[in-house]
Amino acid sequence: MLDLLHALLRHRARLGWWLERLASPDTPRNRLLAWLALAEGQGAVQMKRLFAGAKALSEAELALVRQLRGSGIDHPDMAEELRLECPDWAVGPLRQRFGAAFATEMAATLSPAPLDLRVNPMRSTRPTVLRGLKDLGLRAEATRLAPQGIRIRERLSLARLPGLKTGEIEIQDEGSQMVALLVDARPGERVVDFCAGAGGKTLAIAAQMLNKGHIIACDVNEARLKRCAERLRRAGLHNAETRVLASETDRWIKRHKGGFDRVLVDAPCSGTGTWRRNPDARWRAPELGLQTLVALQARILASAARLVKPGGRLVYATCSMLVEENEAQVAAFLAANPGFSVVPLQRVAAHVTTSDHPDFLSLTPARHDTDGFFAAVLQREASSSTGATPV
């Protein structure tokens, strides 16, 4: 049933186009009928058997099925962005981002994402987990970029993965694992995950630190942080704590100004990079509007920067593929904060040779078979004062 729901969401624009073309009401039931006819080739006779008894098809519904007979889900009259299921609000920004590769990149967001796992090095090793998964009859392989990543290329019940309960593995897209890797936190350092959410990257960073030092997972959502704390306990990670912030300018930030070696800002964003994993997300335009969201990201980044000590690093990341939220956001921050400079990707992840940008991590579903992720590593001058742009 979930697969069917995802299929309907991945073809939402095209199904709507067909219903409008045939002047049929755009209802959930008509969308299902259109999908069965266009994608699965079912005709009126099959549909009558499927929709028997109280669910019997009306004459109007049977007429719709007959009209769709012999057609495919795509049609030459469809606009390119509609055929690629790109919502109106994102067409301009994504065409700007990808240019001639727009169609290829958008098509990649329509395919289901694989299941990626991250091995917790405090509990196990990647070779050990791989052997265990293969013993369970699963097609598992090491990820290409993330050193603790494993990819399973089949649908399965998560109950088949006992390592999730023991903290040996966590579900985490390879791109997200790479963002945590770029933080490059060392044992004994002080680290902040500023927008930690449920803590996926916090867990990866805490393990990277070998349970030594101190990492603080911050967020404005207390429920998510409770989930983060539970995951930390299960993973056997005790070098982390959670802290609820009232806002991006919480007083706690001022009190700890210049006190951390590494600060990760995984900013709230449009989520365009997650569309293949969350097919409903593309149809939810940013609640605040893109420009308001970009302004919020800038405030969060400027405030979090105050926590970075001289010589420390600030990592800005999103799961977006939009220039406005990524490269343009970093450029604006650097213009306002000359005490920070970019650490080129080659210095922090030399094995990533296919990034779309020489300085930043820039991953896309089409080029890297990951979710869309962006990350920039920024270093504060060792002689810089502890104050960034005042907030």
Domain total in the chain: 2
Last residue of a domain, one of 78, 104, 133: 78
Instruction: State in Å, rounded, how far the first CA of the chain is from the last one.
Output: 48
> Is 302 a domain residue?
yes
Model pLDDT for residues 2-59, shown as the tens digit of each residue: 889 999 999 999 999 999 999 999 999 999 999 999 999 999 999 999 898 878 999 9
208 and 340 within one domain: yes
Tally of CB atoms within 10 A around 376: 27
366 and 250 within one domain: yes
Model pLDDT for residues 308-354, shown as the tens digit of each residue: 999 999 999 999 999 999 999 999 999 999 999 999 999 988 888 77
What pLDDT was estimated at residue 316? 98
Q: Is the pTM higher than 0.85?
A: yes
Q: Is the dihedral of CA 326, 243, 258, 391 positive or negative?
A: positive
Q: Where are the alpha helices (DSSP H) in 74-221?
A: 80-83, 88-98, 102-108, 126-135, 163-166, 174-183, 200-208
> Is 191 a domain residue?
yes
What would the mean pLDDT of 274-279 be, rounded to a whole number? 94
> Is 258 a domain residue?
yes
Last residue of a domain, one of 78, 103, 128: 78
Contact indicator for 318, 324 with CB cutoff of 8 Å:
no
pLDDT for 391 beyond 70: no
Specify which residues 192 forms β-bridges with. 216, 263
> Is 140 a domain residue?
no
Model pLDDT for residues 209-265, shown as the tens digit of each residue: 999 999 999 999 999 999 999 999 999 999 999 999 999 999 999 999 999 999 999
> Is 307 a domain residue?
yes
73 and 190 within one domain: no
350 and 224 within one domain: yes
| Calpha distance 18→15 (Å, rounded) | 5
Model pLDDT for residues 158-170, shown as the tens digit of each residue: 989 999 999 999 9
Please give the positions annotated as active site: 319
71 and 192 within one domain: no
> Is 387 a domain residue?
no
Burial of 67 (0-12, 13-18, 19+ CB in 10 A): middle
> Is 251 a domain residue?
yes
192 and 73 within one domain: no
> Is 372 a domain residue?
yes
182 and 74 within one domain: no
Residue 338 belongs to domain with CATH number: 3.40.50.150
CA atoms within 13 A on the CB side of 104: 10
Q: Which residues contact 295 (CB under 8 A, 6 or more apart)?
A: none
Last residue of a domain, one of 46, 78, 110: 78
Range of the domain at 308: 176-380
